[in-house]
Amino acid sequence: MHLITQGPKLKKTLSGLIRRHDNIAFAVAWATSAADVFNLIHRFRRKIRCGVIGTHFYQTHPNVLTEFIDFGQVRFVFQPQGVFHPKAYLFWTGSKWDLLIGSANLTLGAHSTNSEMMVWVTSDDVESYDLKEKILRTINTYWQNGEVASRAKAREGLINKR
């Protein structure tokens, strides 16, 4: 188990895990398309099993919606009760998995200048496979309640962002 508190270290860790593993699941409150990690996840989107991105307070950049128009593996929370606020990234290949959970969104600031705190847990750290399954079920529940981005929703995001 590791603690990551610096954006550049988080960026390097996430980038390596995206490349290393066959499967990705994530849930974040916000995302920006300017973030290198976002662009890498987008490039490897065939690995995404379920991804959920919040849009509350219009903090998610409209280009993020545009990048995932009609891509069913990534859904958005447009009108949450309260604020959709998780930050979890799960990667796995076979029985090996890595989980980052903490304060960092999928944004440029989180991976560069923000003060963030993420705990990195691996299948080597935890004997039980149960943690990975619980996290994946939780992300999947968020995903089931989200919506696929449509051109209309992306256009709405662009209008409201102005």
- The per-residue pLDDT of the chain, averaged, comes to 92
Predicted TM-score (pTM) of this structure: 0.93
Which architecture does CATH list for 2-161? 2-Layer Sandwich (3.30)
Tell me the pLDDT tens digit for each residue of 30-66: 999 999 999 999 999 999 999 999 998 888 988 999 9
| CA nearest neighbour of 121 among 98, 140, 105 | 98
Q: What's the rounded Cα separation, in Å, for the pair 58 and 61? A: 7
pLDDT grade for 9, boundaries at 50, 70 and 90: very high
Where do the structural domains in the chain lie, given as residue ranges?
A: 2-161
Q: How far is CA 141 from CA 51, 77, 134, in A?
A: 11, 12, 11
Q: How far is CA 114 from CA 59, 104, 107, in A?
A: 15, 9, 10
pLDDT grade for 81, boundaries at 50, 70 and 90: confident
| CA nearest neighbour of 31 among 151, 96, 111, 99 | 111
Element (H, E) at 28: strand 23-28
pLDDT at 162: 43
